[in-house]
Structure 1
Amino acid sequence: MKWTVRRFIGKRINLGMDARISYLRIIACAMVVLLHVCGTNVHEFSQRWWSANVYNSLTRACVPLFFMISGATLLYKDEALGIFLRKRLLRILPPVLLWSIVYLAWLKYWGAPTGNWFVAIVSGPTMYHLWYFYAALGLYAFVPLLRRFVQNCTGGEIAWFLGIWFLAASAFPMVYSLVRDTGCGSLRMGVLDDTYNLGNFGGYAGFFVLGAVLREHAARLGGWRTGMPVFLAASVCTGIAAYVQSASLGAVCELFYLYLSPFVVLAACGLFIAVAGGANSTPSRFIQRMADSTLAIYGLHILVIDRVAAFLGLSARIGNPWVTTPLTAVVVLIVCFVAIDSLRRIAPLRAIL
């Protein structure tokens, strides 16, 4: 009998009370903070570059993890289109507006031109890391369709989709970019899109399907025993490939850091399997509070990184970066969590944060 995801839907526990999902959210959030802390040293070769390269390589799976978590929690649900849109818009639009205004005010305070705020917000992210919110809005538009696809396809059909997606969105663009020397800023599909019209398989939507599938099979794939070695090996390959490519060009090249780089995709799969393959349990209240704060921590942490450097003199740019980088990330994460957790105790702010 053909396997479909639908037959397992009724057997799952409440997705919101799955400790594994909470742990994945917290891990991905901590990785984002560490990524942006070490990022100050990654753009030029110096004595600090290797520490930045190592930390960068170990944390690049963060954004793919967030997308995979969304797929794991959203694609199994069965709800009316109107209910889905209302829930998602209420979850993502208030943070988009809040953090856009916060960073526009921050830029204006420091004398940067901000122009018309409404136009600025509609046009795109007002601070570089807010791109994720806009990407999430676009990807949510596909969720009702991806939901029907995942719930009704056979295992073979889903494997076919993921195989074509990995080839078209990750593996081939990396090879094409290296062979054609198309630059270090993006992965290009080249002939797969121009000639064979496989652009429909590009982008981050594949991570949603990947997260949904891996959540079902993480334990059977070995959980921690398989996932962690894959994550570490892929992260090491990311760092080595970034060094080799940059050294050959005589300048830092971030091609292998991209979220759709094959090594980054594999690292995200490994870490997801390692955590999602663990025993199912209900998270403690503290863990759930941390998990519920991750979206707001993502919005706030760039501002806190700047203020921690200003008030405490703590950043990856000072001292031994192998030590100051994770130390700064821990301090930023703690400050963000305390601030967000405190604000979330105020009922009107809870829905926004």
Structure 2
Amino acid sequence: MKEKVSTQRIVFLDLIKVIAIFLMVANHCVDNVTPMERAEPWYNLWGSVYNSFTRPAIPLFVMVTGILLLPTRMAMGKFYKKKISRLVTPFLVWSVLYNLFPWFTGVMGCEPSSINLFFKWAEPSQTFSDALKNICMIPFNFSAFAVQMWYVYMLIGIYLYLPIFSAWVEKSDKKSQRIFLGIWMVSLFVPYLRNFLTQNLWGECSWNEFGLFYYFAGFSGYLLLGYHLVNYPLQFSKMKKYLLALVAFAIGYGVTMIGFKETTAVPGQSEEMVELFFTFCSPNVALMTFAIFIVCQNATFSNAKLNGFLIKFSICTFGIWMCHYFFVGPIYLLVRSLDAPVLLKVFIENILVLLLSFVFVLIVRSTGKWGKIIMG
């Protein structure tokens, strides 16, 4: 997540970014659980309970982006040069490293199976030609060795769109923004309507994929939601805000967890159905995201040391995003031998991966200008 230079730091945004990166790493730690452990009868229950908590991670990052970058008053070309270049450089460096890694294991004399210690679900190949093929595909999509990079493609798209969206946001009033958010909220139901009602929804068909709510759908709603909640905060007591957040999170989490659990309990489900209730742009995930945001926005920050830690950790979140997947597999190998439930082992893995990635990013950033560029 890129930050706009400001003389006044919004501390609660640092808290949101730390929570979001924790949730994101948690999601990838659950992904690394072995097929044998996934076959255990109770995996579907605890996997659903734990993994459902992670879904607000990406929307929270996008909301922070909206707060920090809306409205932008830079010329479009200058904005692209300054902001997108800060994303592209670390993205390319780390994408190349991830895709070269299988080839490196072969150079070092490791067995092809060693690749799956780091990337559990990737097809192991140690040939340079396959690595080069994946690298050549970087302009078009991520590989199985750089799965987390999907987010950067999306984020670059948001940055390309942001100066255009920003012009409207700057001129819009509270009512206009709420109308946009209202239409966006309707669009959040599209994944469910498309699956349970009709695949060709509101004008979508074999020759048209851009339906009625297409231009209001997606992550742009989270961009505006973050901006809107900061500029037009809820006008009632903190206790009522917390109560609202509790209810919103309970409903959103309940739908996410139960929906995912029931869907994945059916053998042979398609990947699309498995991910349906985990969709980031869905009403249940939006409710969870809104709840976490409201709690953080109204939190009190009076401890200088805690504030300093949050700021330092927040600055490292993009770098953690880039590098953490190299630590997920080895750390899980370390904790899997513990005499503890898999859920506890995954939580311990989550903490260790996050802390190790944080320390690694700090070390690299401390090397100077290029260290900071590589880590974003």
Give TM-score, length-normalised by structure 2. Answer: 0.79
Q: Distance in 2 between matches of 1:95 and 1:161?
A: 33
Q: Does 1:343 align with 2:361?
A: no
CA contact (8 A) 1:41 1:52 kept: no
Per-residue CA deviations over 1:306-344 (Å, capped at 9, x if unaligned) read: 12134x24499x841221121110010010001111111
CA displacement at 1:197 relative to structure 2: 3.8
Cα separation, partners in 2 of 1:247 and 1:306, compared to 1, 3 Å: closer
Per-residue CA deviations over 1:218-247 (Å, capped at 9, x if unaligned) read: 453644443244224311221012223444
Match of residue 257 from structure 1: 278
Match of residue 6 from structure 1: none
Q: Which amino acid aligns with 1:17?
A: R
Q: Distance in 1 between matches of 2:68 and 2:246?
A: 22
Match of residue 134 from structure 1: 153
CA displacement at 1:157 relative to structure 2: 1.3
Per-residue CA deviations over 1:253-272 (Å, capped at 9, x if unaligned) read: 33101111210111111111
CA displacement at 1:86 relative to structure 2: 2.2
Q: Structure 1: any 5+ residue segments left out of the alignment?
A: 1-12, 183-188
Per-residue CA deviations over 1:89-143 (Å, capped at 9, x if unaligned) read: 2320111112101101213234342234652221212311110011111111111
Q: Which amino acid aligns with 1:155?
A: K
CA contact (8 A) 2:252 2:284 kept: yes
The number of aligned residues is: 331
One of 220, 231, 234 as aligned partner of 2:249: 231
Q: Which amino acid aligns with 2:342?
A: P
- Of residues 18-27 and 47-56 in structure 1, the stretch that sits farther from structure 2 once superposed is 47-56
One of 85, 98, 115 as aligned partner of 2:80: 85
One of 259, 262, 265 as aligned partner of 1:241: 259
Q: Percent identity?
A: 22
Match of residue 97 from structure 2: 102
Q: Distance in 1 between matches of 2:57 and 2:192?
A: 20
Q: Which amino acid aligns with 2:141?
A: G
Match of residue 111 from structure 2: none
Match of residue 58 from structure 2: 63
CA displacement at 1:160 relative to structure 2: 1.2
- Secondary structure of 1:115's aligned partner: helix
Q: Distance in 1 between matches of 2:231 and 2:288?
A: 18
- Secondary structure of 1:191's aligned partner: coil
CA contact (8 A) 2:44 2:265 kept: no
- Of residues 61-70 and 157-166 in structure 1, the stretch that sits farther from structure 2 once superposed is 157-166
Q: Structure 2: any 5+ residue segments left out of the alignment?
A: 106-124
Cα separation, partners in 2 of 1:217 and 1:227, compared to 1, 3 Å: farther
Cα separation, partners in 2 of 1:35 and 1:118, compared to 1, 3 Å: closer
One of 242, 267, 271 as aligned partner of 2:292: 271
Cα RMSD (Å): 2.8
CA displacement at 1:83 relative to structure 2: 3.1
Cα separation, partners in 2 of 1:291 and 1:16, compared to 1, 3 Å: farther
